[in-house]
Amino acid sequence: MWQLNWTDTTLIDWHKLAEVLTYDPRQPMIFSSGVFLLLFLGFSFVYMLLQKRTTARLLFVTLFSYYFYYKSSGVYFFLLGTVTVTDFWLAHVMDRTQSPLKRKGLVATSLLVNLGLLCYFKYTNFFYEMLAPLWGGEFHPLDIFLPVGISFFTFQSLSYTIDVYRRDLRPLDSLLDYAFYVSFFPQLVAGPIVRARDFIPQIRRPLYVSSEMFGQGIFLIVSGLFKKAVISDYISVNFVERIFDNPGLYSGVENLFGVYGYALQIYCDFSGYSDMAIGIALLLGFRFPINFNSPYKSDSVTDFWHRWHISLSTWLRDYLYISLGGNRKGKFRTYVNLILTMLLGGLWHGASWNFIVWGGLHGVALAVHKFFRSLLKRPKTYRSTGIRRFFAVLITFHFVCFCWIFFRNTTFEASLTMIRQIGTAFHPEVFVQLVTGYWKVFALMGVGYLLHWCPDRWQDACGRLVVRTPLVGQALLLIALIWLVIQVKSSDIQPFIYFQF
């Protein structure tokens, strides 16, 4: 008689499943991975079952968000809990305190906790390297793990305590609601930085996802996945990394197009993540503000920062620039505040002199633009047109690209080498050979820049078309894109660039 031998036959490889579901530092959880797509399908099923049970749904999403962060940074998810509990309690005490001095002490404590964590994990080795020579010691980097997205959730939580301190916001009564806000997984590890005043009113609102929200969410997920997994990853692995790893081995024209490639790569990578985060939030019934608005169409550095990483630039404006005095203390102080804000914004991105130079260049450019705008008595709403706008956009784009050289290189020497190659060893005769050898990369770069510079109404029309498409058509569109990603992807999943920040 035939018997099923359970010792030899297993329907599930439990060891393999455990490996997939536990933290792997080589493969952090990202939206474009197959593991996330499968988990999100299961998550969505439970999420809809809890549609009318608000508290249970919030608890379920919060637990999933903590698991999502665990898959990104391992046991360091406890930092997320530390920030959440500390700022929730401080905000409550602050709201009940009338003494201005005590309120300042409480908000200072929040700053100390959040920025203290940020400084320890991101800047300990940076300052240690600078200070070691003062006492004649040798610098040996400490083995400090950088938790993914710590810059984002600390800034997001700080916006809450500062708003409560300024009495622009009443504190939440429920720790669960606050934990949901801080940990909400679509924007947890790479933004956008969502303000408490924008998000908190949505938390206990009855769950409703209209057909327009669903279609718009699908469109954003598809466009974000295409930008990240097709354009950004391909040109990064097959061209950009090679140039930036050894800029001295390549001619100036190769270095220049490597910079153009990186400008497109970082835009597609980061805006692609933001698109997917906003799209996933829409599928769950939540609205996030736009984080990118075709930044390379900018006709000035000021315009660029109105379009690039909008959630960070507005955070720096509202909580740093204005706190420094903004434009309220005279023109000279305004220019100094702009430069200081961008220097600190550069340092926010990482503990490197390259980031400080990148931020400083943008700060000086913002100050210079503001100076000439006041000199010419042009209002803030002024926009150049025609041939003047063409050259303004061209100059702004190349200034931004020049700054990307410092942002991307890991050493200051490599940045100078790249600039020297472009300036003194250009060799334009290599261009035809370059395009021939990397024709797929250049084709994708052409597609990426064309999509970026196409009129906004074309993008809006595509979004409306996806919204009007039946559900089956939307599903087929997503499946077709996933198939395309599989065809062009590299052997390893490429983490999002802003995971390191």
Q: How many CB atoms lie within 10 A of CB 307?
A: 17
Q: What is the DSSP string of 25-84?
A: TTS---TTSHHHHHHHHHHHHHHHHTTT-HHHHHHHHHHHHHHHHHHHHGGGHHHHHHHH
Mean pLDDT of the chain, nearest integer: 86
Phi-psi region of 300 (alpha: psi -120 to 50; beta: other; left: phi over 0): beta
Q: Which of 15, 140, 349, 452 is catalytic?
A: 349
pTM for the model: 0.88
Confidence of residue 480 (pLDDT cuts 50, 70, 90): confident
For residue 144, what pLDDT is reported?
76
How many whole angstroms separate alpha carbon 185 and alpha carbon 459?
A: 27
How many whole angstroms separate alpha carbon 501 and alpha carbon 122?
A: 9
For residue 488, what pLDDT is reported?
66
For residue 19, what pLDDT is reported?
66
Rg of the Cα trace of the chain? 24
How many whole angstroms separate alpha carbon 440 and alpha carbon 445?
A: 9
For 98-136, the pLDDT digits (tens) are 899 999 999 999 999 999 998 888 888 777 777 777 766
> Contact at 8 Å (CB) between 269 and 496?
yes
Q: What is the 3-state secondary structure (H, E, C) of 235-255?
A: HHHHHHHHHHHCHHHCCHHHH
Query: Which of 309, 298, 253 lies closest to 435 in space, CA to CA?
Result: 253
For residue 4, what pLDDT is reported?
45
How many whole angstroms separate alpha carbon 137 and alpha carbon 135?
A: 6
> Contact at 8 Å (CB) between 311 and 193?
yes
How many whole angstroms separate alpha carbon 119 and alpha carbon 124?
A: 6
How many whole angstroms separate alpha carbon 314 and alpha carbon 304?
A: 12
349 is a catalytic site residue: yes
For 53-84, the pLDDT digits (tens) are 999 999 999 999 999 888 888 888 889 999 99
